[in-house]
């Protein structure tokens, strides 16, 4: 496996030149654009890592999977999907204008910023407690009790997060969400700033692929139903406006974040974590697309 991974990385790492690192959150602009690493965990729980697999980066939008999971564990499927929908969209992740329409009664889906902020508002816990519970779940799924959040990225997110603040307050004015908006936003900025590496991501992906079999979720939720739901959402909305093409060409349910991380789940088989901060115009890792796409062909991982 390591040999295959090394060759795929070697063949593709030159393509970092085709993209750029995210800089709309200033602290993310400091990333090394050439970084590229991957970890894959197989059915027998063997861990295979190559490249910059050990480098830390912030989880960003991949946290939307974790918060969706926690909100469902706290409130159940029905209550969560009363304020977010199931459908994919061509709108960008930070879309706001649709929330103005009187006809709109919920955020489009939990992978958009609007949907993710709505989902976070449902998670139990006042003040700091909300985020503490999110961080705790990340640690449990990643099998890493040392995970923390990056204070510099958090501050940068918060200082420049006016659009996310506008989204949250517009949703409140429309009656989609309620409660303490400032604490929901603070939790959202912190959850995006959680620091991880590809091994952590692969462990989280493996827990989903493995239907949370080995995970004590401290909840009576149907674990299989939960993992199926997360996987189905990743299929149509995990890769921003590229989710359809990613599904067609790579064929592995995945979620990416603007720091360059990609979490990929091959149901009942593999968990994959990838890092490469050079992004395409949709906000997906350029190298992630190339490397995971080739890996999918090489190991015959396309789920369709």
Catalytic residues: 61, 64, 188, 240, 258
Q: CB within 8 A of 78, min separation 6: which ones?
A: none
Distance CA 135, CA 150 (A): 12
Q: Which two tokens stand for residue 86?
A: 């199931």
To ligand GLU, the closest distance from the beta carbon of 191 in angstroms equals 9
Residue 196 phi, psi dihedral angles, 5° rounding: -140, 175
Is the Cβ of residue 65 or residue 69 nearer to ligand GLU in the bound state? Answer: 65
Q: Are 61 and 256 in contact (CB under 8 A)?
A: yes
**Within 10 A of 67 (CB to CB), how many other CB atoms are there?**
27
Q: State in angstroms the smallest separation of the CB of 140 from ligand GLU.
A: 22
Residues 186-205 that bind ligand GLU (CB under 6 A): 192
Strands (E), 242-283: 254-256, 261-266, 270-275
Return the number of the residue (234 or 258) whose C-beta is nearest ligand GLU. 258
> Residue 171 and residue 149: Cα distance in Å, rounded?
26
| Residue 216: Cβ-neighbour burial (10 angstroms; 0-12, 13-18, 19+) | exposed
d(CA 3, CA 8): 9
Name which of residues 26 to 65 contact ligand GLU (CB under 6 A).
60-61
Closest CA to 285 of 14, 20, 2: 20
CB closer to ligand GLU out of 36 and 111: 111
Closest CB 275 distance from ligand GLU, rounded Å: 13
- Integer angstrom CA distances of residue 249 from 135, 142, 246, 301: 33, 28, 5, 11
Instruction: Provide the minimum distance between the beta carbon of 203 and ligand GLU in the complex, in angstroms, as a whole number.
Output: 20
The yes or no reply on residue 164 touching ligand GLU (CB under 6 A) is yes
Q: Which is nearer to ligand GLU, 61 or 296 (CB)?
A: 61
- Regarding 257 and contact with ligand GLU (CB under 6 A), the answer is yes
- Shortest spacing between CB 156 and ligand GLU, in angstroms: 10
Q: Cβ of residue 11: shortest distance to ligand GLU, in angstroms? A: 27
Please select the residue that binds ligand GLU; options are 205, 258, 287, 292, rule is CB under 6 A: 258
- When the beta carbons of 161 and 293 are compared against ligand GLU, the nearer one is 161
Q: Contact with ligand GLU (CB under 6 A): which of 110, 251, 283, 288?
A: 283
Complex with ligand GLU: residue 164 or 197, whichever CB lies closer = 164
Which residues make Cβ contacts (< 8 Å) with residue 140, sequence separation at least 6?
A: 215, 216
- List strand residue ranges (DSSP E) for 4-88, in order: 37-41, 47-51, 57-58
Q: Is 113 in the site for ligand GLU (CB under 6 A)?
A: yes
Which member of 35, 52, 150, 157 binds ligand GLU (CB under 6 A)? Answer: 157
What are the counts of helices (DSSP H) followed by strands (DSSP E) for the chain? 11, 7
Footprint of ligand GLU (CB under 6 A): 60-61, 93-94, 113, 157, 164, 192, 257-258, 283
């Amino acid at each position: 496996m390591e040999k295959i991974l090394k060759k795929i990385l070697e063949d593709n790492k030159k393509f970092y030149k085709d993209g750029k690192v995210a800089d709309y959150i200033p602290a993310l602009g400091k990333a090394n654009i050439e970084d590229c690493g991957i970890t894959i965990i197989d059915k027998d729980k063997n861990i295979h890592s190559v490249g910059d697999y050990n480098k830390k980066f912030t989880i960003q939008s991949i946290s939307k999977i974790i918060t969706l999971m926690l909100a469902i564990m706290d409130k159940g499927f029905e209550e969560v999907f009363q304020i977010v929908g199931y459908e994919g969209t061509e709108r960008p992740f930070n879309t706001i204008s649709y929330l103005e329409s009187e006809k709109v009664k919920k955020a489009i889906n939990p992978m958009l910023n609007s949907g993710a902020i709505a989902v976070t508002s449902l998670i139990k816990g006042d003040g700091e407690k909300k985020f503490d519970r999110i961080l705790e779940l990340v640690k449990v799924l990643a099998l890493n009790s040392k995970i923390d959040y990056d204070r510099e990225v958090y501050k940068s997110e918060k200082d420049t997060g006016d659009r996310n603040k506008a989204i949250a307050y517009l949703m409140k004015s429309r009656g989609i969400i309620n409660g303490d908006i400032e604490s929901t936003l603070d939790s959202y900025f912190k959850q995006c700033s959680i620091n991880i590496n590809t091994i952590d991501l692969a462990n989280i992906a493996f827990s989903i692929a493995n239907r949370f079999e080995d995970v004590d979720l401290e909840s009576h939720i149907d674990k299989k139903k939960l993992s199926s739901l997360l996987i189905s959402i990743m299929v149509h909305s995990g890769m921003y406006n590229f989710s359809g093409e990613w599904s067609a060409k790579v064929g592995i349910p995945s979620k990416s974040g603007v720091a360059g991380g990609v979490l990929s789940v091959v149901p009942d088989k593999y968990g994959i974590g990838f890092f490469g901060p050079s992004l395409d115009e949709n906000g997906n890792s350029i190298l992630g697309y190339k490397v995971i796409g080739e890996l999918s062909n090489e190991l015959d991982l396309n789920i369709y």
